[in-house]
Each structure stands twice: as C-alpha cells, then as structure tokens.
Amino acid sequence: MPKHETVKRVNHSAKEMFALVADVEAYPEFVPMCEALVVRSEKERDGVRILVADMTVGYKAIRETFTSQVVLKPEESLIEVRYIDGPFRFLQNRWFFEEVSEGVCDIHFFIEYEFKNRMLGMLMGAMFDRAFRMFTDAFEKRADRVYGVASV
C-alpha cells in the first residue's frame, strides 16, 4: 500500500499553517492535481469542526472524485482525513503542526492509500506519489503568499 510521510520546517506558526490547511475550499488554487473541492456539510462540536468534502483530482485525461471526512482539531494542531467514497479501497491522511519557536513550525504530513482498481492504481499511482511529495512545498509557498515571507 503506497504511503508517504514527511516532516518539513517552515517559517510560519503552527496556528497559521493549521488555518491554511483547514481552508480546504482554496485547494484548487494551489494543491497539485486538485481541480475542484466542494464542502458538502460542516458541523462543529466541542471546538472540533467536521467537514464532508468532495475533491476532484486529475492528471491529463483522467479525473476522479472522492469524498472524505475532514476532522479539524485546532487545540491539538491536528487535521485528520478519513476516506468515505470514491476510487480508493483505503485512504488515510493526517497533518500535525508542531510549534518549534515563535513563527516557526514543523509540518508532519502522512498519507496512505490504495486504489480499488488495479489499473487505475497503475495509471494514477506514480502521479499521486509525485503530487503527495509536493504537498508540503505547495502549502509552504501558499503560506508565503498569504502571510508573507519571514526574514531569517
């Protein structure tokens, strides 16, 4: 089962990075392969927001839409994504933002997935793997545009 895990240090606070990743509706503007994202529902309980969203990803002529539950836990600096429906047999994604010092955090990114269809997995697998490796960079670049580039 393909998976990718990385830790990246950025010159933005954990709170800023959490807010950026939690803004799922902006993903089509900057996330690799994300063509559309629609939030179907949203609810909040005890400071935790739960979204159900459809994300359409594509590469060349291939398009796939999948539905996920996104659990936003700002007090824990944690975002968990649970797969609901679509072309995967399994998909799990987690973001954790660890404050290192003022205005600096480590982004912990983890994703594990498996396509239902073996052929689709062969076609899209390499592209997904490449895209997932670019995710943390895409979010850092977005943070630089939104919050400004911190001077070192």
CATH of the domain at 66: 3.30.530.20
Q: Give whole-number Cα distances, 152 to 32, 80, 99, 100, 134, in Å.
A: 27, 31, 17, 15, 23
Whether residue 120 is contained in a domain is answered as yes
Mean pLDDT of 66-82: 97
The two beta strands, 3-10 and 62-73, are unpaired
Whether residue 130 is contained in a domain is answered as yes
Mean pLDDT of 127-131: 72
Whether residue 102 is contained in a domain is answered as yes
Look over the chain and give the mean of its residue pLDDT values, rounded to a whole number: 90
Which residue range is the domain that position 136 belongs to?
Answer: 3-147
Mean pLDDT of 117-136: 74
pTM for the model stands at 0.89
Which percentage of the chain shows pLDDT scores above 70?
95
pLDDT value at residue 149: 81
Whether residue 52 is contained in a domain is answered as yes
Q: Who has greater pLDDT, 135 or 97?
A: 97
Whether residue 152 is contained in a domain is answered as no
Whether residue 85 is contained in a domain is answered as yes
Whether residue 117 is contained in a domain is answered as yes
151, pLDDT greater than 60: no
Name all contacts of 41-48 with Cβ < 8 Å and 24+ positions apart: 47/73, 47/74, 47/75, 48/72, 48/73
Q: Could you give the number of structural domains in the chain?
A: 1
